[in-house]
Structure formats: structure tokens, C-alpha cells
Amino acid sequence: MATKDLGIILHGATGRICSTQHLQNALAPIRAEGGLPVGDDIVMPRLLLVGRNEERLVEIARANNVTDWTTDLDAALADPAYSVFFEAAATHQRLAALGKAITAGKHIYTEKPVAPTVAEGLSLLADVEAAGLKHGAVEDKLYLPGFLKLNQLIEVGFFGRIVGFRLEFGWWVFDGKDTPSQRPSWNYKKSGGGGLLSDMHPHWRYVIENMLGPIRQVAATAWTAQPERIDENGDAYQVDVEDSTTTLIELANDAFGTIQSSWATRVRNDDLVTFHVDGTAGSAVAGLRRCWAQSAANTPIVRGFDLGAEANTGKDGADYLDDWREVPETVAYKNPYRVGWEGFIRHIVADAPFVSDLRAGIRDVQLAEACSQAAAERVWVPLPQH
């Protein structure tokens, strides 16, 4: 097998998502293992890290055995040795950076949201396709171990006819007054591209539609639970975006479901995110890593509320959780971001199909945009295919 280099620019390399998930957990392991087999060749990612903080770039490059880095984005884009541009910098700067990369003739792979609005995303798509370039969007949650197990149950018909679902996500993000906040302040400012709808609903779109089918329409509400926060410099500021949302979804197959997301809730679930699906033949609930299922045969008969002496333990003195069975591991774990990179590299090098393209990323933005409209106008908003 011949080894071929694939030059990849990582923009926003000093950010947590890029430095940890995309570099440390995905591209660096591919390089350490000798590259990625693609057909009769081995593709070796050749990386160029781009960021604003030189000291941090040096640190990250050294930790991941990368020799090339720069603080000059324009110089990086002008280098013909790098044909792929990955965008993971600040959300409000994404559109401009991607536009520069397309002008420079680079294939693009981008974190979400791919654009601030659907209209801007469609314009970006027109530009990249007119230039004859390949494109992709990060949709990592599809490859979470728990969600993969849930999807396997769907594929084998475990649920029968799916009648409903609920997706719950979130944890308590401190406001910075007594305990430092564990999320950056831009997440809570319109000027920085913040807000829970734009941050997380793009993820929930591709999870729901890839597993359960197209979304027909949405209704939503959104609010700010913690209106004042302290930033990284110790200064107080007013939150001008939502940190809590509730969404009602109607699928094209006539099933309904809900999304409950919040940065102002304390966790008392199996995981930070749980995806519960109900069907006529069974139900299942998946977290990040694990998945539990209950078939119709194992479903307990519930006759009403038990207010007797054993009420605190559930039905007839037993625990309702006893009737659920954990779905076993069937494949070895692979980091979800690495799965995405391997798919995109094969798409670039061998023209292999890649479902998470820019169109999918625009559809992700479409759900967030529709939910924002629904919350503002208190109406159902359709989600037509573009």
C-alpha cells in the first residue's frame, strides 16, 4: 500500500472541541496508527494548526506530535499543500472563514452550526458546489455508543410502530457568582452566536431524523432562567439568549415527541442526555454510552397509583427499573468525532458517500431557526425539505 498525505488545516485549533475531540481523539490517533486505509492506499493526515494564541498553539502541537502551526489564517489558506479546511473557531466568525476557504479552493468540513441562518447556509452551499469542492458538517452524536445501540433496535424492528419519543438534555451551568461558570460567556450572548437553540438543536435534528424519520413541524418555547452571569474577567453581564427550551415535534409518520434542553437543570437521569423511544412492541432509552430496552412481554401491568405502605418503592413493592434490560455491546467503541473524520477523509480521497454534508448541516440549522420562530410567535412552524 502506498502512503499519501492529505493536508488538513484545523482552524480554531486552540478551542476545546478542536484540540480535544477533533485533534487528540480523532486525527492524532489516526496518524499514530500509521494513517487511514482507503482502498489500496494509506491516507496520512498532514495537519496545520491555526489559532490566535501562539503559546497555546505550540503547546497543543507538541502534545499531539504536530510540527506545523500558524496564527496567520490567510497564509495557511494560500498553502497548496493543504486541500482541506476544517472550521471550529468562534461561531460568529464561521461564515467568513468558510467563505475564505472556498475562495482558496479548499474542501470544507465544519463544526455546527454551519451558518447563522438557513439562507446564509444555502448561499454557502451554492458557492462550494459552484467551485466543485466537497463539503461536510460535523454530526458526531449519531455515533455515540448509546445512540448506536438505540438505532440498532430501530433497524431490527424492535419497537413495532413507533408512537412517541422524548429527548432530555442538560445540566446546571453556574452563573459565576459563587462558583466559576464551566461554559464561556459567548454561549450566553447573541453577539457571540450563543443560545441553546443554535447550540444544541442542530444536534437533535440529525439524531431524530436519521433514526425516526423526517420532522413535519415544530412548536416551541424558550426562556432565560439565569438572566445575569459573570464572565471570564469577573464582570457581570446580562444574558440576551435562551438557556432553557421545550420543543414539541410532529414527525412525518404522525408520531409526536418532545425535546427538553436546559443549562439550568440538575441531573437526575441515567445520563446528561437521554433519548427515550416508545413503540407498540417495546420501548428503549439511550444515554451517551448505554441503552436499556423493555419489550412488550416485559412491560409491567400498571393499574394505578400505589399509595399504600410500599408506595415509595414503585409497583407492588418492586422497582420499575427491574423490567428493563441493558442492550449489550456489539461493536468496539470508536470516538464519534473520529468516525466522522474517517468518513469525510474517504469522501475526499475516494468519493465515498458521506451523509453529513453541508445540506445536512443546513437542515440542522433549519430546526433551530424554526424553533426560534415558533417560540417567538407561539405557532406551529413547518419544516419543509430544501
Q: 89-130 pLDDT, tens per residue?
A: 988 889 999 999 999 999 999 999 999 999 999 999 999 999
Residue 39 lies in a domain: yes
At residue 326, what are phi and psi to the nearest 5 degrees?
-75, 135
Grid cell of 64 as nine digits: 499531539
How far is residue 323 CA from its own chain's centroid?
31
* pLDDT for residue 1: 74
Tell me: do 126 and 153 sit in the same domain. no
Residues 13 and 162 in one domain: no
Number of structural domains (the chain) is 2
Q: Is residue 217 part of a domain?
A: yes
The per-residue pLDDT of the chain, averaged, comes to: 94
User: Residue 317 above 70 pLDDT?
Assistant: no
- Let me know if 135 is exposed, middle or buried by CB neighbors in 10 A (0-12, 13-18, 19+): buried
Instruction: Give yes or no for a cis peptide into 227 (omega within 30° of 0).
Output: no
Average pLDDT over residues 320-339: 92
Q: Which of 139, 134, 179 is nearest to 361 (CA)?
A: 139
Q: Where are the alpha helices (DSSP H) in 272-357?
A: 336-350
Q: Is the dihedral of CA 46, 62, 112, 271 positive or negative?
A: positive
Rounded Cα gap, residues 202 and 259, in angstroms = 12
The whole-number pLDDT of residue 90 equals 84
295 shares its domain with 185: yes
pLDDT score, position 310: 56
Same domain, 68 and 31: yes
Is the same domain home to 98 and 117?
yes
Q: Tell me the H-state helices in the chain.
A: 16, 28-32, 54-63, 73-78, 94-103, 118-130, 145-155, 196-212, 336-350, 358-377
Mean pLDDT of 363-386: 95
Say which CATH number the domain at 121 has.
3.40.50.720
- The percent of residues in the chain predicted with pLDDT above 90, rounded, is 90
Whether residue 198 is contained in a domain is answered as: yes
Band of pLDDT at residue 281, cut at 50, 70 and 90: very high
- Verify that 269 and 346 share a domain, yes or no: no
78-94: average pLDDT: 94
Specify if 349 maps to a domain: yes
Note whether residue 8 is domain-resident. yes
> What is the structure's pLDDT at 307?
63
- Considering the domain architecture, whether residues 178 and 44 belong to the same structural domain is answered as no
CATH of the domain at 220: 3.30.360.10
Q: Do 319 and 170 have their domain in common?
A: yes
Checking if the pLDDT of 59 tops 80, the result is yes
Give the pLDDT score at 151: 97
Is the residue at 239 inside a domain?
A: yes
CB 156 within 8 Å of CB 277: no
Taking 3-state DSSP, the helix, strand and coil percentages for the chain, each rounded to the nearest 5, stand at: 40, 25, 35
At residue 309, the pLDDT reads 52
Same domain, 208 and 178: yes
**Structural domain boundaries enclosing 302:** 142-334+366-377
**pTM for the full predicted model:** 0.92
Instruction: Answer for the pair 192, 90: CB distance below 8 angstroms, yes or no.
Output: yes
Per-residue pLDDT, averaged over 134-157, amounts to 97
Pairwise CA distance, residues 367 & 261, whole Å: 14
Mean pLDDT over 335-343 rounds to 97
Q: Could you tell me if 344 and 213 lie in one domain?
A: no
Report yes or no on 385 lying in a domain: no
Q: Is residue 361 part of a domain?
A: no
